[in-house]
């Protein structure tokens, strides 16, 4: 009795950082995460509800390609015809919505990102040749 304690004593927790640093850092990260999810959830739950109702009224994809199909793809997502870019007026205006199949929506998103969001630098490669 009493001997066993001495083998445990030498270890002391490392303290590389000032105590305040880690908590402030962790707090900021938690805050960012929380802000992100609450915004998404607050925004998202209403949007989920509205989108679901819209899809019940517009059960098939409204994209150009599907409109030409005899059997259109079933719509799974509600797309904004004009990119809302965070503008609530565009975001919540049903006139700016269209039902789309996920597949078609993803394709449209890629096209828009490539064309508008990140325009490809013109003819950089051509200059080299």
- Which positions lie near Zn ion, rule CB under 5 A? 61, 63, 66, 101, 104
Query: Considering the complex, what minimum distance in angstroms separates the CB of residue 57 from Zn ion?
Result: 17
Q: Which is nearer to Zn ion, 69 or 82 (CB)?
A: 69
CA–CA separation, 103 vs 101, rounded Å? 5
Q: Which is nearer to Zn ion, 53 or 67 (CB)?
A: 67
Q: Which is nearer to Zn ion, 3 or 64 (CB)?
A: 64
List CB contacts of 73: < 8 A, sequence separation 6 or more: 60, 61, 66, 101, 103, 104
Query: Considering the complex, what minimum distance in angstroms separates the CB of residue 103 from Zn ion?
Result: 7
CA–CA separation, 125 vs 1, rounded Å? 78
Q: Which is nearer to Zn ion, 44 or 74 (CB)?
A: 74
Instruction: Give φ, ψ of 20 to 5 degrees.
Output: -65, -30
From residue 120, how far is each of 50, 85, 116 by CA, in Å? 35, 20, 9
Query: Considering the complex, what minimum distance in angstroms separates the CB of residue 16 from Zn ion?
Result: 55
């Amino acid at each position: 009795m009493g001997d066993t304690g001495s083998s445990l004593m030498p270890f002391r927790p490392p303290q590389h950082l000032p105590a305040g640093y880690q908590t402030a850092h962790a707090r900021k990260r938690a805050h960012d995460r929380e802000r992100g999810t609450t915004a998404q959830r607050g925004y998202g739950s209403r949007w989920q509800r509205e989108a679901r109702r819209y899809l019940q009224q517009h059960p098939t994809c409204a994209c150009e390609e599907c409109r030409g199909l005899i059997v259109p793809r079933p719509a799974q997502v509600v797309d904004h015809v004009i990119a809302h870019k965070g503008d609530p007026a565009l975001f919540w205006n049903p006139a700016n919505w269209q039902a789309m199949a996920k597949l078609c929506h993803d394709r449209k998103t890629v096209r828009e990102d490539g064309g508008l969001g990140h325009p490809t630098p013109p003819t950089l490669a051509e200059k080299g040749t």
